Amino acid sequence: MRPSELTKMFELEDSYWWFVARRKLILTLVARYLPPTPAERPVILDIGCGTGATLTGLSRFGDAFGVDFSRHALQYCRRRDHCALVRSRGEALPFADASAHLITALDLLEHIPDDAAAVREFARVLRPGGVLLITVPAGPMLWSEHDEALDHLRRYRSRELRRALEGAGLEVERLSPCITFLLLPIALLRFLQRLWPRRRGGPQTALIVPPKGINTLLIKLLALEHRWLLRFNLPAGVSLLAVARKRGPALLSERAAPGVR
C-alpha cells in the first residue's frame, strides 16, 4: 500500500467506522474460533498488519506477530509500541511449518499477484486444527478508482475465494459477504465515480470522513449486521469474510516456535 494511504489509515484506524467495525467483528471471531491451547499461549500472525490497530487487539489472545512487507507500515506499528514485527511477503513467510494457531489476513490477498500461493503459504504455517480469518473486497462490478488508489489487483467472487482456500487444503467453515446494508449506496457512489472526470494527481481513495454522529451510527449499524452474520450468511456485500481451518487434530501441548526459518 502507498505510504500516503498508510498515513490515512494510521490517522483514522482508531475512529473511522470501517476500521472500527471490521476490527470488532474480527476480534469477536477470534474469540469464537481460536483453537484451545490450555498448555501455552497461542501464536497469532497478523499478515498484512498495516498500521497495527488490529494487532493490538489480537495481542489480548496470545503472542501476536505483525507481518507486513511495507517498512512504512511497520514503522507505524512501532509507534503503537509493537515489537514482534516481521518484514515479509505473504507468499514467502519466514516462519516454521505448523507454527501458528491462528492467522489473520485482512484485505491483503487482493494486493498479491499470486494469491493462491499466499493461501498455500498460510496453510503451511498453520498448525493442524489452526484457523485462518480472511477478508477481501467483494464484487468485480464494484471496481473503482478507490481500488486503484489502494493498489488492488482484483475484487473477489465467493467461488474464487473458496477455490483458493480449498486448493490450499483448508476446510472452509464460514464464507459470507459482509458490509451488506451499505452495498447499494457504495455501488451508487462507485458508479458515479466512473462518470466523474479523473482528478489530477492519480487515483484517490473514497475514504469520506462523515460527521461524528453519522460515524457512530454507522459503527452501531454494522454491529447489528455483524450480530446477524455471526449466525447466518448474508446475501451480498462490499466485502467477503472467510473462516477456514487446517485439517487435522489441533496440537494442544507441543509449542512450535514461530522463529525465522
Q: What is the pLDDT of residues 55-64, one digit of tens each?
A: 999 999 999 9
| Rounded Cα distance, 134 and 35, in Å | 16
Q: What confidence score (pLDDT) does residue 259 get?
A: 52
| Rounded Cα distance, 7 and 26, in Å | 22
- DSSP bridge pairs for 56: none
Look at 10-19, 119-128, 170-179, 244-253 and tell me which has the smallest mean pLDDT: 244-253
Joined together, the cell numbers standing for residue 144 give 473503482
Cβ-based neighbours of 230, under 8 Å, separated by 6 or more: 28, 29, 32
| Rounded Cα distance, 211 and 215, in Å | 6
Q: Average pLDDT for residues 173-183, to the nearest whole number?
A: 95
- In the chain the first and final C-alpha atoms are separated, in Å, by 26
Calculate the average pLDDT of the chain: 90
Q: Average pLDDT for residues 139-155, to the nearest whole number?
A: 90
Q: What confidence score (pLDDT) does residue 253 get?
A: 38
For the cut 70, the answer to whether the pLDDT of residue 129 exceeds it is yes
Cβ-based neighbours of 141, under 8 Å, separated by 6 or more: 187
**Fold entry, domain 3-246:** Rossmann fold (3.40.50)
Q: What confidence score (pLDDT) does residue 255 get?
A: 41
Q: Is residue 46 within 8 Å of 104, Cβ to Cβ?
A: yes
Give the pLDDT band (50/70/90) at residue 44: very high
Query: Interior CA angle at 210 toward 205 and 216, to 5°?
Result: 120
For the cut 90, the answer to whether the pLDDT of residue 193 exceeds it is no
Backbone angles phi, psi at 168, to 5 degrees: -90, 5
Look at 113-127, 134-148, 172-186, 196-210 and tell me which has the smallest mean pLDDT: 196-210
For the cut 50, the answer to whether the pLDDT of residue 194 exceeds it is yes
- DSSP bridge pairs for 65: 45
Longest dimension (CA), the chain: 59
Residue, of 28 and 206, whose pLDDT is higher: 28
Q: What percent of the chain has pLDDT over 90?
A: 76
| Rounded Cα distance, 51 and 3, in Å | 11
- Helix or strand run (H / E) with residue 248: none
Residue, of 137 and 251, whose pLDDT is higher: 137
Rg over CA atoms, the chain: 18
- For the ranges 38-47, 187-196, 198-207, the maximum mean pLDDT occurs at 38-47
pLDDT in tens, 75-107: 999 999 999 999 999 999 999 999 999 999 999
Residue reference for cell 496440537: 251
Q: How far is CA 68 from CA 6, 32, 93, 249, in A?
A: 12, 25, 10, 29
| Rounded Cα distance, 30 and 254, in Å | 21
For the cut 80, the answer to whether the pLDDT of residue 1 exceeds it is no
Cβ-based neighbours of 94, under 8 Å, separated by 6 or more: 86, 88, 260, 261
For the cut 80, the answer to whether the pLDDT of residue 211 exceeds it is yes
| Rounded Cα distance, 75 and 50, in Å | 10
| Strand ranges of the sheet holding 239-246, from the earlier edge strand across to the other edge | 85-87, 63-68, 43-47, 100-106, 126-137, 239-246, 170-178
Give the pLDDT band (50/70/90) at residue 252: very low
Q: What confidence score (pLDDT) does residue 189 get?
A: 81
